[in-house]
Amino acid sequence: MSVQTYTPREFHRQAHDALGNPQIRANFRKAMDGLMSKRRDVFSDWDLDALRELGANIRQRALARLPELLEQLEANCQANGIRVHWAQDGDEACRIIRELCEARDAKSVIKGKSMVSEEMHLNTHLEGAGIEALESDLGEYLVQLNEQTPSHIIMPAIHLNTDEISEIMHDKTGTERTRDVDYMTAAARAQLRERFMAADVGISGVNFAVAETGTLCLVENEGNGRMTTTVPPVHIAVTGIEKVVEHLRDVPPLYALLTRSATGQHVTTYFNMISGPRKPDEHDGPEEVHLVLVDNGRSSIYQDDELLDTLRCIRCGACMNHCPVYTRVGGHTYGTTYPGPIGKILMPHMMGLAETRDLPSASSLCGACGEVCPVKIPIPDLLVRLRKESVGEGRGNVPGAGVKRHRSEVLAWKGFQWLATHPGVWRSAMAIAGKLRGWMPTRLGGWTDYRSTPKPAKTSLHALVKRHRREEGSS
Partner 1 sequence: MSSRARILQRLRDRTDGALVPPESDFSVMTGRGWGVQERLERFERLISSVHAEVIHTRQASWTETLAEVLTAKAVRRLALGHEHPVPAEARAALHEHEVDLVDANRDIEAWQREQFETVDAGLTSTGGAIAETGSLWLWPTPDEPRLTSLVPPLHIAVLDAETIEDTFFDVVEAHEWSQGMPTNALLISGPSKTADIEQTLAYGVHGPRELVVLIRHREEST
The least distance separating ligand SF4 from the CB of residue 326, rounded to whole angstroms, comes to 11
Task: Verify binding: residue 415, partner 1, rule CB under 8 A.
Answer: no
The least distance separating partner 1 from the CB of residue 25, rounded to whole angstroms, comes to 15
Among 47, 99, 127, 171, binds partner 1 (CB under 8 A): 47
- Which among 215, 255, 281 has a CA at the least distance from the CA of 58? 255
The least distance separating partner 1 from the CB of residue 435, rounded to whole angstroms, comes to 52
- Which among 112, 111, 95, 93 has a CA at the least distance from the CA of 103? 95
Among 77, 192, 245, 318, binds ligand SF4 (CB under 6 A): 318
Rounded to whole angstroms, the Cα distance separating 120 from 130 reads 17
Count the helix, strand and coil residues of the chain and give each as a percent rounded to the nearest 5. 55, 10, 35
**Paired strand residues for 203:** 111, 236
**What is the size of the binding site for ligand SF4 (CB under 6 A)?**
15
Rounded to whole angstroms, the Cα distance separating 460 from 466 reads 10
Quick note: the x/- pattern for ligand SF4 over 364-393, rule CB under 6 A, is --------xxxx-x----------------
Task: Verify binding: residue 314, ligand SF4, rule CB under 6 A.
Answer: yes
Among 212, 371, 381, 393, binds partner 1 (CB under 8 A): 212
The interface with partner 1 within residues 157-186 (CB under 8 A) comprises: 157-158, 160-162, 165, 181-182, 184-186
Q: What does DSSP say about strands 201-204 and 208-210: parallel, antiparallel, or unpaired?
A: unpaired
Task: Verify binding: residue 151, partner 1, rule CB under 8 A.
Answer: no
Question: Is the Cβ–Cβ distance between 239 and 291 less than 8 Å?
Answer: yes
Between 133 and 211, whose beta carbon lies closer to partner 1? 211
Helix (H/G/I), strand (E/B), else coil: 289: strand
The interface with partner 1 within residues 232-291 (CB under 8 A) comprises: 241, 247-253, 255-256, 263, 266-279, 281-285
Task: Verify binding: residue 66, partner 1, rule CB under 8 A.
Answer: yes
Between 60 and 361, whose beta carbon lies closer to partner 1? 60
Q: What are phi and psi of 110, to 5 degrees?
A: -110, 140
Task: Verify binding: residue 156, ligand SF4, rule CB under 6 A.
Answer: no
Task: Verify binding: residue 313, ligand SF4, rule CB under 6 A.
Answer: yes
Task: Verify binding: residue 72, partner 1, rule CB under 8 A.
Answer: no
**Could you tell me which residues come within 8 angstroms of residue 88 by beta carbon, excluding any fewer than 6 positions away?**
295, 296
The interface with ligand SF4 within residues 42-101 (CB under 6 A) comprises: none
Task: Verify binding: residue 192, partner 1, rule CB under 8 A.
Answer: yes
The long-range contacts involving 263-268, CB below 8 angstroms and separated by at least 24 positions, are 263/35, 263/38, 263/39, 263/154, 263/155, 264/35, 264/37, 264/38, 264/39, 264/40, 264/41, 264/42, 265/38, 265/42, 265/221, 266/42, 268/219, 268/220, 268/221
Between 214 and 380, whose beta carbon lies closer to ligand SF4? 380
- Say which DSSP state 149 is in: -
* Interacting residue ranges for ligand SF4, rule: CB under 6 A: 261, 313-319, 341-342, 372-375, 377
